[in-house]
């Protein structure tokens, strides 16, 4: 595998660890780490090879809905008033339609990113070369179809959150 893939796997590991152990971090430090990791994840995911799935392999998705729900709930409690945020939903608008504001959840963003990354990460260390190619394909597929939007939305919410935290410390 290439150095860029190794770097991506390391960043995935750091992100998953941070989100799983978020209660061990003060909120300000947690958000600063996310400010660094999320853009890096996005950048590295864009650079993943754009290949098709080559093997007929269906690995068991390890992260259950209950595990996702548990992490999501812990994040909601941890983030408190910083969890909900508004954004303008303008995807798939017809020319004359007006975009609408949508209430979203930073915890949902972080937990969804975690689930899509962690499922492949759990198999990475024991995977042979063909399976690793499949896992890379899975990461890229899920990035393109799902978690890239969560990263973008989370970065905006975290940026605002960091500003709020800094302004309240003065």
Max distance between CA atoms of the chain, in angstroms, equals 57
d(CA 132, CA 138): 10
Q: How many domains does the chain have?
A: 1
* Structural domain harbouring 149: 3-169
Q: What number of other Cβ atoms are within 10 A of residue 103's Cβ?
A: 8
The pLDDT of residue 8: 98
The pLDDT of residue 19: 98
Higher pLDDT, 123 or 167: 123
Q: What are phi and psi of 111, to 5 degrees?
A: -70, -40
Contact 137, 53 (CB under 8 A): yes
CATH number, domain with residue 26:
1.20.120.1550
Q: What are phi and psi of 92, to 5 degrees?
A: 60, 30
């Amino acid at each position: 595998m290439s150095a860029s893939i190794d770097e991506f796997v390391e960043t995935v590991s750091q992100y998953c660890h941070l989100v799983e152990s978020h209660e061990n971090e003060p909120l300000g430090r947690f958000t600063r780490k996310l400010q660094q990791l999320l853009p890096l994840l996005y950048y590295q995911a864009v650079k993943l090879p754009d290949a098709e799935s080559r093997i007929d392999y269906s690995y068991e998705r390890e992260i259950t809905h209950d595990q996702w729900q548990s992490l999501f709930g812990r994040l909601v409690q941890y983030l408190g008033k910083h969890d909900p945020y508004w954004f303008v939903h303008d995807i798939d608008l017809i020319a004359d339609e007006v975009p609408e504001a949508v209430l979203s959840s930073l915890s949902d963003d972080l937990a969804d990113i975690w689930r899509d990354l962690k499922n492949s990460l759990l198999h990475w260390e024991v995977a042979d070369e063909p399976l690793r190619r499949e896992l890379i394909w899975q990461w890229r597929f899920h990035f393109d179809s799902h978690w890239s939007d969560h990263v973008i939305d989370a970065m905006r919410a975290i940026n605002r959150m960091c500003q709020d935290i800094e302004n309240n410390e003065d």
